[in-house]
Chain A
Amino acid sequence: MSYDFKHSPAIDQVGIEERVARFNTRSIKKGTKVQGLKLALNMIDLTTLEGKDTEGKVKQMCYKAIHPHIAMPDLPTTAAVCVYPTMVKTAKDALKGSQVKVASVSTAFPSGNSTMQIKLLDTKFALDNGANEIDMVISRGEFLKGNYNFVFDEIASIKDLCKKYEARLKVIFETGEISTLDNVRRASDIAIYAGADFIKTSTGKIGVAATMPVTLVMLDAIKDYYIKTGIMVGMKPAGGISTAKSALQYLVMLHETLGNAWLDNKWFRFGASSLANDLILQLEKEARGVYFSKDYISVD
């Protein structure tokens, strides 16, 4: 299918912001809230991406992913854990026997400033160690130069590799760096047409991470592709979503933009670390009617 990325649909920023404001007036209460909180928990890619990460830290996080809150044993697990390639093996072992997937960042995360050869090796290393999902970054410099074919080919090459391992590919744009909504839309189209299974906003490594307007532009790109082809693509806002309220607002937006089929962790993820505990806090509040101390919730 041919597609000219210079002519991605125009985006009207004011219109996007108004639509987001409208989603945020939705009032989510009672059963709807509890259901939404659990759904959000089940959509989390529990993430640690720091230079100071240790095996011990990753193991603790994996246990949290499977058992988010001991006092509520019926809670769903998170969707995945997200780590650096060197931690994939540790995570894989720690998650053995559970439904929780291992996602690995790759392609010289977070800057993406390396050679294609290195990026492929980086990805292959993660896949060889058992990663189920690859979170790659695009070359923002090339994108901003207008070198869209470069970005397309880069994604397609990584996708080819992922296919061999039956791993799913998430493509990170670092929307804070490509900045305009028109660029976000263009990057979304490039990634989707190059074979991304998920498109993802941010690395979480720079100041501006996921926002609702950016996510809405990406959801619209997914919708437009689906309307054309019938093929579903997933969405992952990452970074900056730390409260249950904000997570519910994202779910409202997802629900009213793409509908039922996407309300599942196969098609939507939150890249977050502290969100899980706020969801748990709110779930406890819904169950008890009062807030309780955060000290009852484990921090891993």
Chain B
Amino acid sequence: MAKNETKKLEYFTDWKYAPAPEATDHINLKKQYDLFINGKFVKPNSGKHFDTINPATEQHISRIAEANEKDVDSAVKAARGAYDKTWKKMPAKERAKYIYRIARLIQERARELAVIETLDGGKSIRESRDIDVPLAANHFFYYAGWADKLEYAFPNRNPAPLGVAGQVIPWNFPLLMAAWKIAPALATGNTVVLKPAETTSLTALKLAEIIQESGLPDGVVNIITGHGPVGAAMVQHKDINKVAFTGSTTVGKWIQKAVAGTDKKLTLELGGKAANIIFEDAPINQAVEGIINGIFFNQGHVCCAGSRLFVQESVAEEVIRKLKDRLETLIVGDPLDKNTDIGAINSKMQLNKINEYLKIGVDDGAEIYQSSCTLPDKGFFVRPTLFLNTSQSHRISQEEIFGPVLAVQTFRTVEEVIEKANNIPYGLSAGVWTDKGSRIFNMTSKLRAGVVWANTYNKFDPTSPFGGYKESGFGREGGLHGLLPYLKF
């Protein structure tokens, strides 16, 4: 019997996985992208384009148009025209056909979209291939089905579209967020002006090409690119009936002020600082895996990331030991490599923000533990990080970091953990790990979070509504609930 007193597991082996990069020769990217308005790509009035880079290599990929107020106005006009002339008059089952066609085209071009998503945003090809792109297609499929059944969804209430929806989406799931926004808007009979985030506009622009190919009437979907002021101009535009925003709480608050006093309908899906809670009777090994995926999925750039871990004291030592072991087996590096678990941080700005929080955590006295992996020389990367012995009052336990950083606390009783989990301005999601069914129901009724996962985490499905409590926003996306924000009765 071999006995090893150190009880250490060594994951550095001679058996190293050879690079397995996904091919990029099949993708088709233009040198420069213009604005997609009224079914055509048009030059921006500003005459300006800006660079979009690959965050994993810092290399230039393409150039994106910078819209200004005039462009916003012509996009809204195009959307209004399409709404009045064609889209609102079209029988619902015909609308559904277009949405269905978009879904099919996304599937057909899944491989290209996945590679571009990874190149432009830094997320691992495994995730863009297995999660982002298939889910995006599924959202279109799902809402295509609702288009001619709205009367059944809301019986005797005469559901009617709002008009033009202005939608602003974030950089963490560029194509998927575009699908979340566009699919329900079209299904309910609205037309759309969408603004993707400036660091990740490419897949939205590829989606514009797909929309062209689908034959969707001109102006039903318009996609305009640029920085913050473009979104601001759109939100404030007089002829927008509905604003849908996913992004930071700071910007969300600004938008709510900006639409105050107007009859614009608003939904906000904002930040989060989710609690993932492990009880002593949980299936520990699977819980550890769930915690890891809960925080390191998409480099932690997930608003519902399980960024706070509460572990019951009796199993804390075991859980922390296992988290540390698991950290060592995460492969950090080239996002295009099929074996990469954690890709690149989306932008230099975000990298700086995460590094600043790492410093704050250490300065505040939390114990930092990082994977011993080597990071690539170029590009924006962060080691997967645990903060142990954190307090509820630490900034790293309070504020959304939006990176691969997990703050770990321990707890003793159910009351204590509920109080601590809810003691945060956010309320987007939470996770509960226990083998006991009654405890799951108790927790889900007491946790103030829009989504509570039990013995799993980060599961998304078009049929399931998603959205927050408190400063995580309001309104739901997905499912039947996701139709409501785009309808009047």
Contacts and interface: CB of A to CB of B under 8 A. Distances in A.
A111 interface: no
Contact of A259 (B13, B289, B339): B13
Contacts of B322: 227
A11 interface: yes
Given A15-B289, A230-B3, A232-B1, A29 B283 contact: no
A229 to B, nearest CB: 7
A204 interface: no
B448 to A, nearest CB: 25
Contact of B283 (A15, A36, A229, A263): A15
B404 interface: no
B276 to A, nearest CB: 14
A230 B13 contact: no
A223 B9 contact: yes
A212 to B, nearest CB: 15
A10 B9 contact: no
Main secondary structure of the interface of A (DSSP, over half): helix
Interface residues of B, number: 39
A294 interface: no
A256 B327 CA distance: 11
A66 B24 CA distance: 45
Interface in B352-369: none
Interface in A1-51: 9-12, 14-16, 18-19, 25-33, 35-36, 39
A9 B288 CA distance: 13
A259 B289 CA distance: 16
A219 to B, nearest CB: 10
Nearest to B4: A230
A263 B15 contact: yes
Chain A residues touching B, range: 35 or more
A227 B287 CA distance: 17
A260 B12 contact: yes
A229 B284 CA distance: 18
A261 B12 CA distance: 10
A35 B284 contact: no
Interface string B12-24: 1111111110000
Contacts of B282: 10
Contact of B455 (A15, A19, A27, A251): A15
A257 B4 CA distance: 17
A269 to B, nearest CB: 16
Contacts of B5: 230
B109 interface: no
Given A9-B284, A197-B1, A27 B10 contact: no
Contact of B15 (A16, A32, A223): A32
A36 B9 contact: no
B403 interface: no
B188 to A, nearest CB: 34
Nearest to A197: B1
B18 A31 contact: yes
A27 B20 contact: yes
B259 to A, nearest CB: 41
A197 B290 CA distance: 31
B283 A9 contact: yes
A28 B283 CA distance: 30
A71 interface: no
**Chain B CB within 10 A, most for which of A11, A230, A251:** A230
Given A15-B283, A232-B2, A27 B339 contact: yes
B286 to A, nearest CB: 3
Contacts of B4: 226, 230-232, 261
Contacts of B20: 27-29
A10 B11 CA distance: 25
A35 B15 contact: yes
Contact of A12 (B9, B17, B283): B283
B10 A226 contact: no
A11 B286 contact: yes
A205 interface: no
A29 B2 CA distance: 32
Contacts of A223: 9, 285
B338 A25 contact: yes
Contacts of B209: none
15 contacts: A10-B282, A10-B283, A11-B286, A15-B285, A27-B20, A27-B339, A29-B18, A31-B18, A32-B16, A32-B17, A223-B9, A231-B2, A232-B2, A259-B13, A260-B14
Counting from the closest, the 7 A-B pairs by CB-CB distance are A15-B286, A27-B20, A12-B283, A10-B435, A27-B338, A12-B286, A260-B13
Interface of A: 9-12, 14-16, 18-19, 25-33, 35-36, 39, 197, 220, 223-224, 226-232, 251, 255-256, 258-261, 263
Interface of B: 1-7, 9-20, 126, 130, 281-287, 289-290, 318, 321-322, 329, 338-339, 435, 455-456
Given A12-B283, A227-B322, A259-B13, 9 more contacts: A10-B283, A27-B20, A31-B18, A33-B18, A35-B15, A223-B285, A226-B7, A258-B9, A261-B10
